[in-house]
Structure 1
């Protein structure tokens, strides 16, 4: 047992010794590794310090300290080898950099000033240099072969931050002025705009550039109002971003490349600070502007503005009056700054650029300058574009499409609103064919602004794009309602087609249905507020239709242009902003109010012959001021119209002209000229107030109740309705098929009745002028008992005046003339006998009908009769009608759900010689 225990103890001790040995080996290795690591770290720290300070820049004391380091020899040898290898490889470096700058900074961007200063640039501004020279640098020593140009990116590429050193403000001004003159001299006048703000200066900011201040190329800002500059820049960024996004681009540079046009000028904003941090709110605004500026073609040059920006930015930090370090070259290379350009030469060069810009802008532009070189070459599938004016020589366009579907135009009387509308219509018509654009034009004011666009007595031409022209409709709100109904019907038709082809917008519909006729429709309604002038059904229906078209019209290519002198008092839209919200395109004439956004007062100070164009719902950042040339004077628009009329001759029909100041002429009306003998005679009473040139008439079949009453004391209108009814019926019967019986109880109307009688006889019809109405009615009533009764039309003028005679019973007669009249009204239509009578009051008509009700009067036309008197004759409907001259309210119980307003035809005057015209 003892031996066994001793053996176990020996084995344990042996194992412990082995463990101690292994631990010793591990600890020794760790100590060695740590020592090696510490040595390597020390060597790396020495190398880092030498690189940071520079082998050639260390003083003697520093050099001695480095030499004491155990790894000094190894580090100096290594760095020396690297430096020698670098300079061996760098032999071509300066030349490569010079070539790089020359390629990216051509002309004024990088060349010596003697080659360009004082010359006006020609680059249109679609693209620009990528680099702009500020000085030079040498790689090592003063070897000229190792000197290269130093340039900084600007414009689309990067912002620039300059930090001054003590007493270097003149040097900084020189750097900034050199850069600005290089940029301004590289592009054509107007392609670059400079904005200057200095926290410490009111007017003495780069005074050599002051010749440019009389143009838009240079703008100065109040030192206490940095927010004005930042707000303006933010507005440009939002507007350009919206424009680019609509076109599918993320930056102005992409948009320029895609269109091949400058679209917007470059902008350079120079902000001079004083080294102090900006107020927190201004600093936040500056950061926001800087983050989106480059994509909008806006470059910031920040001088002693310590605010950090989250955008691409290069730095230039001055060491003294001649030298600086730049982020473009790194802190190890010192930049020798270019000297400031000679003051006198800069002033003269700036003056020449200003003169060239003024010359380019020219004087007032003409209407012809709005028009393209070739007519009808544009496609409207995606949108409509039209040049409507000029700003500093550059065209200002209006865009109507999905993004800005409807327009609101406002301006007081005499502000140029009509002139602007002609500029817009002319520019659109010149760019698009009538297959691409259809115009519906309505003018509610008492004038004929659009009348010349339809054929007239003096000028037979018309604007081929016009489908409808309505003028003098200030009292015919129903015509505006008719236009909205037409547009709503067209919207439904297009929506159905889009659904059938499984598309959602006009562009896709035209692509899927190339054989269809889908032009963009622009409906211009001048003084549109008249549509909502009353608290009645017209206002209610117009409001509903207008809101629906405004919401859904954009996708189907139906656009509204609403113009008004004042949009403040449209009560129908209080609490219903749908229409105005959809009118993202706002045009404000001088002194216009409440057209743009509430806080946007740009139009108040706009000069005459100008307009503020805004595609952003009137928000201030969307303002574009445009000079609108004379477009409405004599022969200005007409010349274009004649040119277009001849170009599209015979291809497009004449527009429908509705002139509320003139009554239609029956003989010239299509519904009358197309009449011919047929089985369903129809008496025409007047013109329908509708988009189509239609007539309102009453069919007179052999059916009960087919009699017509003319109601009211307006003699001229009553005679007209009676006349047109008789003459239209006469055209629908062969000679001998109809007999007209005329009776007049009003002496003043006797000549007119006699004239109509003679006219009917001249056409070969039997026309009897009854002197004894009771006897005539007795004869007609008795004749209806026979089976063979010819069609008779009784034309009874002034029935109310004949009532005393009709009520009198002849001796020995059981019935009076009134009894026979009631029999004729009740039974006559079934036998082909129809009465067309004129009663001058509703009460007299009721007396005539007696207790038999109103069913025997199947249709009526009311003149100067109040609407509340007409309800018994309109199937109990509440009739909204306020009489007005030259208009009648028409209702046919067999076809109408509600009465409609008509325009009686113009009754021909008798010939002075006694005949008929």
Structure 2
């Protein structure tokens, strides 16, 4: 019974195995079929790839590919390729027409039209630029050629690669592109920069007519860094401008505000396949990366480098054909026929004329002036145009951001003319209660003399408070100006503290009744202040640094002008002044005025200036044509208008002319003398901002005697003459007695003239000889004084032998009496004014009593080392110079001061 059951189980197993074999066969069959299908599909893909590589037309000529395509399994491939081929040629037939339509639409006018349609015409475009510019044409089939255009300006850079003997073709290609661009845009909207490492001047010479305008600039082949610095500075400036306005590019800013703020720039660089130095190459790549956003396009020729930003490539095959990355390497571009030299230069001339006409032609000084005089307010800043660039005014701004200015330019570069343009433009805009000018010229000349009243023209510039000319030997006057400015700075600072404000604008708001004009001090050839290693240099350096640092807040501004600042040793290691001079103005050929790497002034044309408000960094450069402001009758006509509008006699400026000695009669101090009070002796003019006189009070105190020391007879006579005449003015007739002795024969006529003048004023005058001196001095000591007496002694040293002599039986000589009179006389109303021709003779006169009996003195041709004894033992820095004296009054002076003896007219 068990066997049937085992047989049944065996049958079921066999059935299951059979089913399994069947399923396995099915699976293996399906796998084989799938494998065969995959292999067929892979073969088709590989075949398609091979056909794509060589092209459908190329596959027909390849026997292996042709046999493969004929295989029955590849029928689908043949059908697909045939369909693609047919579709391509159906579409390709419409491409040339589409391209022609596209170029016509996006590149209108000169951007794509034949030259006959635009050559010699002036463009009018202002805001938008065509994205494409035609360079030639190409063909795809029998449907005809289509235009080939490349992007430029806001869109892309161009990299051009030459073939042998294609330099002329490249020049023609670039000339055509540039003329298309320049003829599409309004004059001045595009600037072209040209540089060729292998050409000194012949860089696209056919467009040179434009080089007389700002439209074309040509750079030295050895100075690529100049071009790169200019472009980099422009990018930085535009980036700051656009970022502040909330835009990422100049195009975005232009479209936002609806007007052009900056010209486009195209820089053409011929590299001649030379490798650039690493630093220049890095800078060029940095520029290329940010140039398009700043409106700059580069066209580089044969320069083996890869630029940043968008770049289109043009590779010439020969003189007439090229391939471009715009349409791919399979289509050859037939370059447009080159324009003739006459066509290019003629069009460039017309474009130059249009640009000059648009700018209004040459501008004059009158164009700098406002329509109505004196309407501006200086509370915040001073702002005035000083020249023009492309017809637009270029302004100088003096305020908190640019508090002080440095102006440099060699002789003949137009520095004085620029100063007149600046002064006139400021004075025309701001009334005198808004602007006060202090003008100082250290060079030998009269640059600012015309701003003061003169014999031929009695008008003056009402804004001028001080005018100093011919002060090249009077460095003390420059120091006096700095002291005045420092005092004014302290006065304003105290007022600001009192009103709890920090700057001039706030002070004027809090104190509207105060007089707080902005002060501008212009010092021409300021380096003379620091020409010596002495106390003048030390004090001037300290004062200038202090004013430069703190003056901005109180509205006190310095404008320092110089032909050359290279030799100012006083500022080595002390950059405070130059750091504060953020406004830099460089005349043509000026060096070291702008930043060290900024050479813009070297190439600046005549009658121009580089204006820079960014401490001389290149990106702050503004080139300005400065009109003639200093020729005859140009500035004076404005001055007369301002004089009629503002001036009165009380505001006459202080004129200091170092070339002329002042007259005693013209001194305000002399005019104010009158009888009464303690008499004072006027000796000469103080070298100071105020028109003050050096004077010695003849009080009844010990030592109130005065000595003139030196052999310079003209100056000595002038000082003695001024002293006597000023004293005579302070006494009523017969109220004083002058005792006069002259022991220098050649001076006798001058002394006689003085005596006659004193007598004509009804003063008592007694003439004394050398023999009279001793007895008269004894008499003055013994007899009571009924009136003041003044001893005027000329050449005391010549009388010493007579004074030293003693008669038989006399215990004391005349010299002893003189010494006693010097000591006791001032307290008795007897004062001595004497002239000694050497310090040694003066010491001999004083004897062992020391110098205390000479309370004041004026030294002429005496070295400073000889004067220490008479200056309280201090070291005296004094080198004699004609027409000047060193004055010291021990009762009022800390140290001696230089003075100018009054002029004593010849009689």
TM-score class, shorter-chain normalisation, is: 0.7 to 0.9
In 2, Cα distance between equivalents of 1:194 and 1:466: 44
Contact 1:388 / 1:398 at 8 angstroms: preserved in 2? no
In the TM superposition, 1:302-317 aligns within 5 A as 309-311=307-309
* CA distance in 1: counterparts of 2:452 and 2:284, whole angstroms: 55
Distance in 2 (CA, whole Å) between partners of 1:693 and 1:453 is: 17
Do 1:744 and 1:750's aligned partners in 2 also have CA atoms closer than 8 Å?
A: no
Shift, 1:733, TM fit = 3.7
Counting only pairs closer than 5 Å after superposition, residues 37-76 of structure 1 correspond to structure 2 as none
Q: Which residue of 1 aligns with 2:122?
A: 120
- What corresponds to 1:828 in structure 2? 825
- Following superposition, the deviation at residue 693 of structure 1 comes to 0.7
Displacement of 1:595: 5.5
| CA shift digits 1:845-868 (9 cap, x unpaired) | 223322222222211112222222
Cα displacement (A) at 1:890: 0.9
Change (3 A) 1:98 1:241: same
Which residue of 829, 832, 848 corresponds with 1:851? 848
Question: 1:739 Cα shift?
Answer: 1.3
Report matched runs for 1:789-868 at 5 Å. 789-809=786-806, 815-868=812-865
1:893 aligns with one of 890, 896, 901 = 890
| Deviation of the 1:432 alpha carbon | 4.3
Offset of residue 544 of structure 1: 2.9
Is 1:612–1:623's contact at 8 Å kept on the other side of the alignment? no
> Structure 1 residues 323, 244: CA separation in 2 closer, same or farther (over 3 Å shift)?
closer
Aligned residue for 1:821, secondary structure, equals: helix
CA distance change for structure 1 residues 658 and 417 in 2, over 3 Å: closer, same or farther?
same
Alignment of 1:11-30 (within 5 A): none
Secondary structure, counterpart of 2:447 in structure 1: coil
Q: Helix, strand or coil: the match of 1:193?
A: strand
Match of 1:773 in 2: 773
| Structure 1 counterpart of 2:673 | 675
> Does 1:236 pair with 2:233?
no
Work out whether 1:517 is the aligned partner of 2:519.
no
Is residue 273–residue 302 contact of structure 1 (8 Å, CA) maintained in 2? yes
| Alignment partners' CA distance in 1, 2:200 and 2:798 | 89
- State the match for 2:696 in structure 1: 698
Instruction: Return the match for 2:870 from 869, 873, 888.
Output: 873
Aligned-pair distance for 1:231?
2.9
User: Contact 2:441 / 2:470 at 8 angstroms: preserved in 1?
Assistant: yes
CA distance in structure 1 between the partners assigned to 2:112 and 2:643 by the alignment? 55
Offset from partner CA, 1:39-90 (integer Å, 9 cap, x none): xxx9xx9xxx9xx99xx99x999xx99xx99xx9xxxxxxxxxxxxxxxxxx
Q: Which residue of 1 aligns with 2:89?
A: none
Note if contact 1:196-1:269 (Cα within 8 Å) is conserved in structure 2.
yes
Deviates more, 1:425-434 or 1:361-370: 361-370
Q: CA deviation at 1:690?
A: 0.8
Cα offset, 1:429, TM superposition? 3.7
The CA deviation at 1:694 is 0.8
Q: Is the 8 A contact 2:381 2:398 kept in 1?
A: no
Match of 2:652 in 1: 654
The answer to whether the Cα contact below 8 Å between 1:506 and 1:557 also exists between their aligned partners in 2 is no
**Whole-Å separation in 1 of the counterparts to 2:253 and 2:495:** 33
Q: Say if 2:316 and 2:323, in contact at 8 Å, map to a contact too.
A: yes
* 1:341-356 alignment runs, 5 A limit: 349-356=347-354
Deviations 1:234-262 (A, max 9, x none): 32234436766898975767998999997
**Structure 1 residues 117 and 806, CA gap change in structure 2 (3 angstroms):** same
Question: Is the counterpart of residue 731 in structure 1 residue 729 in structure 2?
Answer: yes
- Distance change (3 Å), C-alpha of 1:508 and 1:305: farther
The 2-side partners of 1:353 and 1:763 are apart by 80
Q: TM-score, normalised by structure 2?
A: 0.74
2:893 maps to 1:902: no
Unaligned stretches of 5+ residues in structure 2: 1-37, 78-96
For 2:409 and 2:199, locate their aligned partners in 1 and report how far apart those are by CA, in whole Å.
40
Specify whether residues 177 and 775 from structure 1 end up closer, same or farther in structure 2 by C-alpha distance, changes over 3 A only: closer
| 5+ long unaligned stretches in structure 1 | 1-37, 73-93, 911-917
| Residues in 1 aligned to 2:689 and 2:271: alpha-carbon distance in whole angstroms | 65
Aligned residues of 1:722 and 1:836 also touching (Cα < 8 A):
yes
TM-score by length of 1: 0.73
Residues 149-182 of structure 1: CA deviation (Å, up to 9, x unaligned)? 9998754566567899999999998986665334
Pair 694,260 (structure 1): closer, same or farther in 2 beyond 3 Å: farther
Q: How many residues are treated as equivalent by the alignment?
A: 844
- Partners of 1:862 and 1:812 lie apart in 2 by 38
Q: Does structure 2 retain, via aligned residues, the 8 Å contact 1:417–1:589?
A: no
Cα pair distance change 1:861/1:204, threshold 3 Å:
closer
Q: Are 2:780 and 1:783 equivalent residues in the alignment?
A: no
Alignment correspondent of 2:487: 489
Distance 1:678 1:98, change over 3 A: farther
Work out the CA distance in 1 between the residues paired with 2:426 and 2:759: 54
Which position in structure 1 is the counterpart of 2:449?
451
2:285 corresponding residue in structure 1: 287
CA distance in 1 between counterparts of 2:888 and 2:600 reads 51
**Contact 1:448–1:472 (CA under 8 A) maintained in structure 2:** yes
State the distance in 2 between where 1:315 and 1:496 align.
Answer: 68
SS of 2:722 mapped into structure 1: helix
Evaluate the alpha carbon distance shift between residue 253 and residue 769 of structure 1 in structure 2; reply closer, same or farther with a 3 A threshold.
farther
Matches within 5 A, 1:602-681: 609-610=606-607, 613=610, 615=612, 630-650=628-648, 653-681=651-679
Preserved contact between residue 523 and residue 560 of structure 2 (Cα < 8 Å): yes
Q: State the SS of the aligned residue for 1:458.
A: coil
- DSSP 3-state at the match of 2:695: strand
CA distance in 2, matches of 1:774, 1:170: 104
- 1:759-803 Cα shifts (integer Å, max 9, x gaps): 33433444444453333323322234x8xx543333333333333
Deviation at 1:268, TM superposition (A): 1.1
Offset at residue 578 of structure 1 (A): 4.9
Q: Bigger shift: 681-690 or 354-363?
A: 354-363
1:11 match: none
Compare 289-298 and 205-214 and name the one that shifted more: 205-214
Q: CA RMSD in A?
A: 5.9
Residue pair 1:610, 1:625 contacting (<8 A) in 2 also = no
Distance 2:707 2:198 in 1: 86
Task: Specify the SS of the correspondent of 2:675.
Answer: coil
- For 1:872 and 1:683, locate their aligned partners in 2 and report how far apart those are by CA, in whole Å: 23
3-state SS of 1:743 partner: strand
1:680 to 1:199, Cα distance in 2 relative to 1, 3 A: closer
Q: CA deviation at 1:567?
A: 4.1
Conserved in 2, the CA contact under 8 Å of 1:388 and 1:424?
no
Are residue 192 (structure 1) and residue 209 (structure 2) matched?
no
